[in-house]
Amino acid sequence: MYSLKPTPFEVSKGLAHRHRTIRKQLKLSQKEMAERSGVSFGSLKRFESTGKISLESLLKLMHLLDRLNEFDQLLIIKETPKDIEKLFTI
């Protein structure tokens, strides 16, 4: 099946690649990052090679990188026209 939208696999692999790049820019080894974040070395290694990681472990890694605030843009609740109409009714 072809799609112009990225698949969950592609998104997770992209996250893992960007994470690995940032970790290397900071000159942190996988072992050091695992110890400092509280994520097991095996989980970190698996994430960087396959893109698979638990949400809790991903949040811990983002916290260590001081990028946890980037999750604030996920699952934003959007107002509907009905919600906006309520503002103008008495």
The answer as to whether 32 is a domain residue is yes
CB 49 within 8 A of CB 16: yes
Which amino acid makes up residue 33?
A: M
The answer as to whether 90 is a domain residue is no
Please provide the distance, in angstroms rounded to a whole number, between the alpha carbons at the two ends of the chain. Answer: 51
Name the burial class of residue 58, with classes exposed (0-12), middle (13-18) and buried (19+) by CB atoms within 10 angstroms of its CB: buried
pLDDT at site 28: 97
Domain that holds residue 32: 8-73
What CATH number has the domain bearing residue 35? 1.10.260.40
Backbone φ/ψ region at 40: left (φ over 0), alpha (ψ -120 to 50), beta: beta
Question: For residue range 4-40, what is the model confidence (pLDDT) as tens digits?
Answer: 899 999 999 999 999 999 999 999 999 999 999 999 9
The answer as to whether 27 is a domain residue is yes
- pTM here? 0.80
Question: For residue range 34-84, what is the model confidence (pLDDT) as tens digits?
Answer: 999 999 999 999 999 999 999 999 999 999 999 999 999 888 888 777 766
pLDDT at site 34: 98
CA-to-CA distance for 89 and 8, rounded, in angstroms?
42
